[in-house]
Amino acid sequence: MDGLINGLYGIPVAGLAFQFGGYVLALLPILAQTTEAVAIPLALAAMCGVLCERSGVVNIGIEGIMLVGAFVGWIVAAGWALQFGTGDPLPLFGITPALVIGVVAALLAGMLLALLHAWLAISVRVDQIISGVILNILALGATGYLNTLIASHSPPGAGAFQALALPSQITSLPLVGWIIGALFGQGPIGILTLVIVVLFQVLLFRSRWGLRTRAAGEHPKAAETVGIDVIRLRYRNVIASGALAALGGAYLSMEQTNSFQADMSAGRGFIGLAAMIVGRWTPIGAYGAAILFAMGTALGQAISIGPPNGQLGDLLTLLPSQFFDALPYVVTIVILAGVVGRSIPPAADGRPYEREATT
Amino acid sequence: MTDPVVDQPLALEMRRITKRYPGVVANDSIDLDLRQGEIHALLGENGAGKTTLMNVLYGLARPDEGEIRIGGQAVTIAGPSDAIARGITMVHQHFMLVPVLSVAENVVLGDETMRGPILLDRREADRRIAALAARFGFDIDPDARVGTLSVGQQQRVEILKALYRESRVLVLDEPTAVLTPQETEEIFALLRRLAAEGGHSIIFISHKLYEVLEIADRITVLRRGRVVGSRSPEQTSEEDLAALMVGRDVQLTVDRGESHPAGPALVVEGLRVHDDRGQETVRGVDLEVRAGEILGIAGVAGNGQDELVEAIVGLRQASAGSVQLAGRSVTAAGARVHNEAGVGYVPADRHRFGLILGFPIEDNVVLTSYYRAPFARGILRQDGAIAAAASEAIARYDVRTPSPTVTAATLSGGNQQKVVVAREFDRDLVLLVLDQPTRGLDVGSIEFIHKQIIAKRNAGTAVLLVSAELDEVLEMSDRIAVMYRGELVATRDGRTADKNEIGLLMATGRHTEPQAVPS
Amino acid sequence: MTAAPSARPRLGLAVRAWALLAVPTVAIVLSLLVGAVIIFVFSVIVAREAFDPALPLKAYGALFNGSLGSFDGLVETAVQAAPLLLAGLGVAVGFRAGLFNIGAQGQFLLGALGAVWIGASLADASPVVVIPLALLVSVLVGAAWAGIAGYLKATSGAHEVVTTIMLNYVALALLSWLVAGPLRLTNSPQPVTAGVGNAALPILIGRDGHIGILIALAAVPLVWFLLHRTTIGFEIRSVGANADAARYAGMRPRFVILLTMALAGGLAGLAGGTTLLGLSQQMPAGYSTTVGFDAITVALLGRSNPWGVLPASILFGAMRAGAGSMQIQAGVPADLVYIIQAIILLFLIVDVLLRKLPGLRGARTGLVTSAAVVHVAGGESG
């Protein structure tokens, strides 16, 4: 067997592909886990996008909401911990009251910001892309401003959520062990994300709310003629979507790390939008696309930490680290350009709906 | 058909319904009775008031005077959900169906069959839909996506929506406008069963005389907002109905004089064109327009005229056939080539193809020639020449505006059209194509534009005039062709054309009355 | 729309100016007020300082002093405004065609890098040769970078909002790699390029006032001329206003999109080139700039009109020039400027509500950005 593998590796050019395959297989558990971890905020951003656009509202401001979620979550948790102490973290996920309060605050802040966008897009009926851009600028400014203000006090964070430590009996199961390890070896927000994706998919296509949402996004007039209040529906959905994006932000500052940096979201909101498009505006599809985008980053991290041996490794170490930094964004562009021509958004996406005035 | 309907109780009464909009009385003291189990046709031309009356019934408009009674009780209908709750369902002319959703999803939308508080009960919905369909004798797959269905089947989905909600009164707005004859027969069979077996009452809005005679128990004719007659089919004929619909008012006619046509300027052969949704709406059209004559194409909107015209002026690619201008083939060329070859185009949707509303009038005047002398030298625009041309156009075509630099959006509809006309007419043209040129305009502008068209014709231009207004076509055309379902079904001489015959051709594609249906 | 032309009285110049300026002015004033409230609220709550009623005044005072209240301040304002003006012009041109160019940041950075590369490579050449060459390269690089997004939009319909933002991040990575690698100044502890030597822009005024300021100013009438006096500009505006009518007029919307993005990118690239050649004269790997969002704000505030972008860029240049002083002297973080930016935009687009304020009823309002999504190849992309 080893002889065969070495033989395969030795083939010029094509051998590189085999080496690469071998490298990935060897690292699969850790690679999968990292991919999932990177994908979580992307997936949440994509869920926010799917919810908004399925209802008929374009939301470019996901990035801003994530940033605000990250900041508010972190600062409220840190503030709470400062005032009341952290207490003993629960063994499960390392939950403390401070962290929970932080997440709740983040969700509320996200919903508030989303309300602003909803008002501008649905009632005032401005250009929805501009409204999203404003959201982003506001978020950047507000979080930067407040971050600078408190930087002088440099509060310690409130800690972070801990990932689930799965017993090795499960993770070493053949074939499925690594998947389970990847999906469930995450913190609470990460696992919650999985639940959200599945729940969202079911609700969108099998519940009354989902049916009405899809109708509002495709043909709001038809929905109105059967008595559905499209305006109210859109408001509720957009506000709820803010919670999703904010959750993604909270993940960044309270689960993946225990800190906040300026521009922490680093474009994830937009990658989430791309994932939504590639995933054809379905929760499961968007999640899959998020995994796709995350793979690039995860691979890059793995290679820089422990490159493969042999020819492939030599080749890869030639690539600058910035190559892997740029990879998720390049992948996004390539997939977007290849796919989008054949992707059809909800028919009424981005078009403000004016209720037929009863004359 | 024998008629027990007359003795049935009244399902619905509309009494003295009056609705005014600024400048027009859309409904003028209209009375309409609907008996249980009756199929009642509402007939009238565009603008006669049928849509307004139904909007009032459906709660989309509040009547200024009059009342509605359901089952003897006076009611106020607050909106569509209220109307639905009272058992009235409207099947709109432009289907209110969501193409990406399934039949079942479309039918239950808004009144969903549930399993528990959150989830839909698809199986139950499917079962009930299948049962309803079977009861009334047609086939439908509840899981099919509506967008994949034929128009006739979509029609049935709309009707299913009403049946699912156990509506007693169905209002069908121009239901056969987009159906094939075969599908029309199927719908009629369904409607008869709904009325006879289901006890549903149906209001059938149409302008198709033959069908109305076939399906209705009673016919009410509207003209200019008033009821001008109420008949049962035995008491009337198509000519009678046509006369009622169109009226005997004296129309303002322009004396178009004699035409002296020369050689062919436009030759179209075997043209086939698809619309944006991929449907073939122009199905093998041959036509010819000679220099110095006006060929009018009459037809109900939506029979392929828009696509035909767009293909002729270079805005849409034909899928088969050829277009020749003064002997030169321009079939695959774009709009600029056609323009430079001497084609002028007055589009049906002037806000889409005709003008850039946000731009000043002078830019709109030079919209198709901005890139060449005298309006540009190289890439530099010559503002002086542009302004001069604009002033001249405004004066010559009597556009009412304070200055050539105000945006086109500030002009009235008639003046906007005059700007388009000024631009397109004000040069030597081989072919002038006009699509609904006077739609929505005031009388003065209409007369003006008609005169300009005749002048152009007399100067030797070939004119292709497409219009849904039969009067306009009769008045202006030297030759008349009728477009029906993507084909030109007849050509007549403009001097001898018979209005009723043309009307019949527009509505049915046939020019003679069929044999009377045995009762 | 019915016209009643003869009924309209002839408006005096002052009245017309008021109509044009009223809403932006009110928006700015209101946002400064909101900014003051923010300063109050957060200085007390978050920074735990004593309530100082004069704090906003101190802050705005420092802001003013650092920008318009002194000679040095004025020069600094001009220096800060110049790149905003150029990049803002680029974004404005995009808006006129209905395109949302969010990629000014990436175009700026790569354009700057291009200029610095030329300058560093030809550091001893005559300034008369190397400066125009370097600036030209910055324009071309920026145009090419934006052109990628333009090409993708024209061919596949990929929405330029997402692609230009992605390209921003790629540009950052590219910058980091190039400066740490091939372009790195040997023996420097931090990754940074070599100095540009003779390509440094000459200083005209004050300590930092380089000729990039003049270049930016010259760009304003040039861009206006392009948009309003040339056939190309007419096509750009037409495609943005009504792509269908533009097609009937014989224009090619796809080509116009590509051209416009390239133009916008070229201006942003020039902004980068002038800034790096004028101010820093060498480029570190981690060079950061906020010009991307600022340019959008400036373009929107200026209603996508070159002559409007000019005062808007001066306003924001002043804010950036004074923000440093504001932070130092009044302890108010410089990011307040962003918040004010966003609030101005907010008030601008909500002009419907603003118009209800007395005195503004006659004001012509509306954010001119043309059609939000251009109808190309049939589909509207999300």
Does residue C18 lie within any of the structural domains? Answer: no
User: How does residue C223 score in pLDDT terms, banded at 50, 70 and 90?
Assistant: very high
> Does residue B274 register a pLDDT over 80?
yes
B379 Cβ contact partners less than 8 Å away, ≥ 6 residues apart:
C230, C231, C232
User: Cβ C333–A126 below 8 Å, yes or no?
Assistant: no
- Predicted confidence at residue C46, as pLDDT, reads 62
Residue of B27, B52, B106, B109 to mutate, testing the A interface (most A Cβ within 10 Å of its Cβ)? B109
What is the pLDDT confidence band of residue C20, given thresholds at 50, 70 and 90? low
Mean pLDDT in residue range B463-475: 85
At B1 the pLDDT is 43
Question: pLDDT band for position C7 (50/70/90)?
Answer: very low
Tell me the average pLDDT across C74-98. 93
Mutate to test the interface with B, among C6, C10, C248, C255 (most CBs of B within 10 A): C248
Of A267-281, B73-87, B245-259, C238-252, least confident by mean pLDDT is: B245-259
Homologous superfamily assigned to B254-342+428-519: P-loop containing nucleotide triphosphate hydrolases (3.40.50.300)
Q: pLDDT digits over B287-332, tens only?
A: 999 999 999 998 876 788 889 999 999 999 999 999 999 888 988 8
Least confident range from A21-25, B201-205, B369-373, C80-84: namely A21-25
Q: Is A222 in CB contact (< 8 Å) with chain C?
A: no
pLDDT band for A150, please (50, 70, 90 cuts).
confident
Contacts of A55 in chain C (CB under 8 A): none
Mutation test of the interface with chain C: which of A53, A67, A123, A127, choosing the one with the most C Cβ atoms within 10 A?
A127
Tell me which chain B residues have a C-beta less than 8 angstroms from the C-beta of A359: 21, 60-62
Higher pLDDT, A313 or A95: A95
Nearest chain C CA: its distance from A137 CA (Å): 6
Give the helix/strand (H/E) hosting C107. helix C104-121
Q: For the stretch A98-114, what's the b/e string if a residue is b when 16 or more beta carbons lie within 10 angstroms of its beta carbon?
A: bbebbbebbbbbbbebb
Whole-number Å distance between alpha carbons of B5 and C367: 61
If you average pLDDT over residues C160-183, what whole number do you get? 88
B333 versus C367: the higher-pLDDT residue is B333
Residue A107 has pLDDT above 50, yes or no: yes
Instruction: Determine whether the interchain pair B383/C245 forms a contact, defined as Cβ–Cβ distance below 8 Å.
Output: no
Q: Which comes out higher in pLDDT, residue C303 or C229? A: C229
Task: For B380-413, write each residue's pLDDT tens digit.
Answer: 999 999 999 999 999 988 888 888 888 898 887 7
Higher pLDDT, C20 or B10: B10
Tally of domains in chain C: 1
C156 in a domain, yes or no?
yes
Residues written for chain C: 382
Q: What is the pLDDT of residues B65-109, one digit of tens each?
A: 999 998 888 888 888 888 888 889 888 877 889 999 999 999 999
Q: For residues A39 and A189, what is the distance between their CA atoms, to the nearest angstrom?
A: 12
| Domain coordinates in residue numbering, chain A | 35-263
Nearest CA in chain A to C163: A333
Stretch C25-37: mean pLDDT, rounded?
82
- Condensed to tens digits (0 to 9), the pLDDT of residues B174-190 reads 887 666 666 778 889 88
Asked if the Cβ–Cβ distance from A333 to C166 is below 8 Å, we say: yes
pLDDT at C363: 41
Listed by number, the residues of chain C in 316-335 with a beta carbon closer than 8 Å to a beta carbon of chain A are 327, 333-335
Give the separation between CA A13 and CA A10, rounded to whole angstroms.
9
Question: Does residue C363 or residue C135 have the better pLDDT?
Answer: C135
Q: Is B112 on the interface with A (CB under 8 A)?
A: yes
Question: Does any CB of chain C come closer than 8 Å to the CB of residue A48?
Answer: no
Confidence of residue C352 (pLDDT cuts 50, 70, 90): low
Start and end residues for every CATH 3.40.50.300 domain found in chain B: 8-87+169-175+199-249, 254-342+428-519
The 10s digit of each residue's pLDDT in A109-147 is 999 999 999 999 998 888 888 888 889 988 988 898 888
Q: For A3-32, what is the mean pLDDT?
A: 77
Distances (CA, A) of A65 to A231, A268, A351, C350, C382: 22, 11, 22, 20, 19
Per the CB < 8 Å rule, is A226 touching B59? Answer: no
In chain C, the residue whose alpha carbon lies closest to the alpha carbon of A53 is: C382
- Taking contacts as CB-CB distances below 8 angstroms, the residues of chain A near C165 are 267, 270
User: Looking at the predicted structure, is the pLDDT value of residue C154 above 80?
Assistant: yes
Q: How high is the ipTM of this complex?
A: 0.82
> Residue B519 above 70 pLDDT?
no
Beta carbons of B367 and C245 less than 8 Å apart: yes
Range of the domain at C154: 54-334
Angle between helices A230-251 and A62-84 (to 10 degrees): 60
Look at A358 and B100 and tell me if their CB atoms are within 8 Å: no
- Taking chain B, what is the end-to-end CA distance rounded to the nearest angstrom? 6
Residue B514: pLDDT band with limits 50, 70, 90: low
At A356 the pLDDT is 53
Q: Which residues of A touch C162 (CB under 8 A)?
A: 270, 273-274, 277, 332, 336
Residue A236 — pLDDT band, cuts 50, 70, 90?
very high
Looking up residue C188, the CATH number of its domain turns out to be: 1.10.3470
Partners of B217 in the β-ladder: none
pLDDT of res. B359: 92
Question: Is the pLDDT at A234 greater than 90, yes or no?
Answer: yes
Q: What is the mean pLDDT of chain A?
A: 85
> What pLDDT shows up at residue A340?
63
Angle between helices C231-241 and C71-96 (to 10 degrees): 70
Question: What pLDDT score does B442 carry?
Answer: 64
Q: Rounded distance, CA A358 to CA A356, Å?
A: 6
CA distance C363 to chain A (A): 18
Q: In the structure, what pLDDT confidence band is assigned to residue C165 with cuts at 50, 70 and 90?
A: confident
What is the distance in angstroms between the Cα of B375 and the nearest Cα belonging to chain C? 9
pLDDT of residue B97: 92
Interface of B with A in 43-102 (CB under 8 A): 59-62, 78-81, 84, 90, 92, 96-101
Q: Is B317 on the interface with A (CB under 8 A)?
A: no
Higher-scoring residue by pLDDT: C49, C268: C268
Q: Take residue B465 and report the two structure tokens written for it.
A: 């005039």
- Residues of chain B in contact with residue C229, where contact means CB-CB under 8 angstroms, are 380-381, 383
Amino acid C4: pLDDT: 38
Q: Which of residues 80-139 of C touch A (CB under 8 A)?
A: 100, 102
pLDDT range class, residue C365, cuts 50, 70, 90: very low
Asked if C342 lies within 8 A of A134 by C-beta distance, the reply is: yes
Confidence band of C382 (pLDDT split at 50, 70, 90): very low
Of chain A, the percentage scoring pLDDT greater than 70 comes to: 97
What is the dihedral angle through the alpha carbons of C239, C240, C243, C249, rounded to the nearest 10 degrees?
-40
Task: Read off the pLDDT band of C1 (50, 70, 90).
Answer: very low
Nearest residue of C to residue A58, measured between CA atoms: C382
**Chain B residues near residue C5 by CB distance under 8 angstroms:** 400-402, 406, 410
- Give residue A53's pLDDT: 94
Q: Distance, in angstroms, between B350 CA and closest chain C CA?
A: 9
Position B3 pLDDT exceeds 70: no
**Gap between the Cα atoms of A238 and A110, Å rounded:** 10
Give the residue with greater pLDDT, C379 vs A277: A277
Q: What is the dihedral of CA C69, C70, C74, C77, to 10 degrees?
A: -60
pLDDT value of residue C342: 82
Asked if A141 and C338 come within 8 Å (Cβ–Cβ), the reply is yes
What is the SS3 assignment for C133?
helix
Give the pLDDT of residue C379.
25
- On whether any CB of chain A is under 8 Å from the CB of C41, the answer is no
Q: Do A225 and B90 touch (CB under 8 A)?
A: yes
Pairing of strands B328-329, B264-274: unpaired
| pLDDT score recorded for residue A130 | 81
The C residues from 139 to 168 touching A (CB cutoff 8 Å) are: 152, 155-159, 161-163, 165-168
Residue B376 forms contact with C (CB below 8 Å): yes
Inspect the interface and report whether the beta carbons of A224 and B80 lie closer than 8 Å: yes
% of residues, chain C, pLDDT over 70: 85
Q: Does C246 touch chain B (CB under 8 A)?
A: yes
Cis peptide before B374 (omega within 30 of 0): yes
Q: What is the pLDDT of residues C369-381, one digit of tens each?
A: 333 222 222 222 2
Question: Region B258-273: what's the mean pLDDT?
Answer: 89
DSSP secondary structure letter of residue A186: S
Q: What is the pLDDT of residue B90?
A: 87
- Whether residue B282 is predicted with pLDDT greater than 50 in this model: the reply is yes
Which pLDDT band, with edges at 50, 70 and 90, does B500 fall under?
confident
pLDDT at residue A10, as a whole number: 72
Q: Does B124 touch chain A (CB under 8 A)?
A: no
Q: CB of B43 within 8 A of CB of B233?
A: no
The average confidence (pLDDT) of chain B is: 85
Residue in C with minimal Cα distance to B403: C5
Contact residues on chain A for C105, CB-CB shorter than 8 A? none
Identify the CATH assignment for B8-87+169-175+199-249 out of 3.40.50.300, 3.30.1020.10, 3.40.50.10860, 3.40.47.10: 3.40.50.300
> Which among C157, C165, C177 is the nearest to A341, CB-wise?
C157
Cα distances from B7 to residues B219, B375, B485, C110, in angstroms, run 17, 74, 40, 85
Q: Of residues C66 and A291, which shows the higher confidence score?
A: A291
Neighbours, chain A (3 or more CB pairs < 8 A): B, C
The model carries a pTM of: 0.79
pLDDT for residue B250: 32
Q: To the nearest whole angstrom, how far is the Cα of B279 from the nearest Cα of chain C?
A: 15
In a domain, residue C224? The reply is yes
Whether C239 has its CB under 8 Å from any CB of chain B: the answer is no
pLDDT digits (tens, 9 = 90+) for B412-421: 777 888 899 9
For residue C163, list chain A residues with Cβ-Cβ distance below 8 A.
333, 336-337
Q: A93 falls in which pLDDT band (50, 70, 90)?
A: confident
Of the partner residues B356, B371, B401, the one whose CB lies closest to the CB of residue C245? B356
Distance from CA of B114 to the nearest CA of A (A): 8
**Which tokens hold the place of C313?**
């860029």
